[in-house]
Structure 1
């Protein structure tokens, strides 16, 4: 009676701390977009750089699909679009003793009979790690589930005669990651490989992205 579970109290405190973190760190940019910092835990020192894992994953993908020119071209276009739209940028050279992190990428393909070219979304794997190191997921706070309750959404939808819906294109890509934290969202790709099979593998950093704690899919 009146006694709260220690687990519930701890989770409630963590959510409040995370809310306070974002309120203190979020910035409104001149173009109207927001810039946020990554909510790191105290165990960030255990984060591995994942460079070998990310390189190895990319090389395996390229080798496995070396004869699938349409797929390689589709991924290359998606990566080029990231740069053109400002979702990613060339990564700065790593400084001595700088803590960085590379995200292995995995292109997911959705092909339909109505499409002449495959639709590709590139997953960034924030759960990859070596056995003795932490993954990016392990050093970031998860936060509360802010998705609306589906039942409530459906009930509100039925309240009036006319319902209006809209969709913000790439909504989760409209915010920016603080420049100091983009180095933890690096990835590799041989930009222009669809036109030049010998294109060198280069390093890029995400400027904006969906929640890096989850693997993206269609």
Structure 2
């Protein structure tokens, strides 16, 4: 809101160029996008060990209340059924991969207990860059909020709507999926052993990192 510089930032232009690769799958009736990396080839650590340690910590927290674990596990089961995520071989024939840490955020009320799964794209070791740092932040393509508020006052009727799981409706290109790997349990009632921990990755755009925000204006125009 307020006065903004209209000059194009070269970095934003490069980010926009990345979105020229947007494709549309007629069979699925879904758009697919790639993650907007700043440089190629992508050179980021796998973060496998960090993601596993965070998994152990997360499971410990979730087991403090049986309802937490039940609801958290149900999130991934629902996403598997909807083909938002997919189970994968942990040993791919490529080096460019990254495992993301995740944790549960609990909201308690008198009637309900809600839990969200939040992925951490900022996880890194001191000597490396995080996934967030290697992705472009969004160029501002959205209408100015002040202009919107002024225009709607001139209309007799104003309607708002909310798109359910907006980011999860946008497909993630095959080339970008291995950067969204994560660990979870096959059986939530068993421990974080090798036989019970499996790897997944996203087939859709996960929310909560810079690339999600980078996609925001493009989702509005798709």
Global fold match (TM > 0.5): yes
- Tell me how far 1:94 sits from its aligned partner: 2.1
Q: Secondary structure at the match of 1:106?
A: strand
Tell me, yes or no, if structure 1 residue 163 matches structure 2 residue 144.
Answer: no
1:121 aligned residue: 116
Among residues 190, 193, 197, which one is paired with 2:190 in the alignment?
197
Tell me, yes or no, if structure 1 residue 150 matches structure 2 residue 145.
Answer: yes
8 Å contact 2:43–2:96 — kept in the other structure?
Answer: no
Tell me, yes or no, if structure 1 residue 179 matches structure 2 residue 174.
Answer: yes
1:63 aligned residue: 60
1:85 aligned residue: 82
Tell me, yes or no, if structure 1 residue 136 matches structure 2 residue 131.
Answer: yes
- Tell me how far 1:215 sits from its aligned partner: 9.2
Aligned residues: 204
- Tell me how far 1:34 sits from its aligned partner: 0.5
- Tell me how far 1:16 sits from its aligned partner: 1.4
Q: Equivalents in 2 of 1:172, 1:83: separation in Å? A: 16
Worse overlay, 74-83 or 36-45: 36-45
TM-score (norm 1): 0.84
8 Å contact 2:135–2:211 — kept in the other structure?
Answer: no
8 Å contact 1:127–1:213 — kept in the other structure?
Answer: no
1:28 aligned residue: 24
Q: Equivalents in 2 of 1:143, 1:160: separation in Å? A: 30
Q: Equivalents in 2 of 1:45, 1:132: separation in Å? A: 16
8 Å contact 1:124–1:215 — kept in the other structure?
Answer: no
Residues 215/188 of structure 1: CA separation in 2 closer, same or farther (3 Å cut): farther
1:122-171 Cα offsets, whole Å, 9 max, x none, are: 11100000111111012111131344433222222221111122221111
8 Å contact 2:167–2:212 — kept in the other structure?
Answer: no
Worse overlay, 38-47 or 26-35: 38-47
8 Å contact 2:35–2:176 — kept in the other structure?
Answer: yes
Q: Secondary structure at the match of 1:165?
A: coil
1:37-59 Cα offsets, whole Å, 9 max, x none, are: 11112266541111111100110
Structure 1 runs not aligned, ≥5 long: none
Structure 2 runs not aligned, ≥5 long: 214-222
Alpha-carbon RMSD across the aligned residues, in angstroms, is 2.4
TM-score (norm 2): 0.82
8 Å contact 1:126–1:214 — kept in the other structure?
Answer: no
1:212 aligned residue: 209
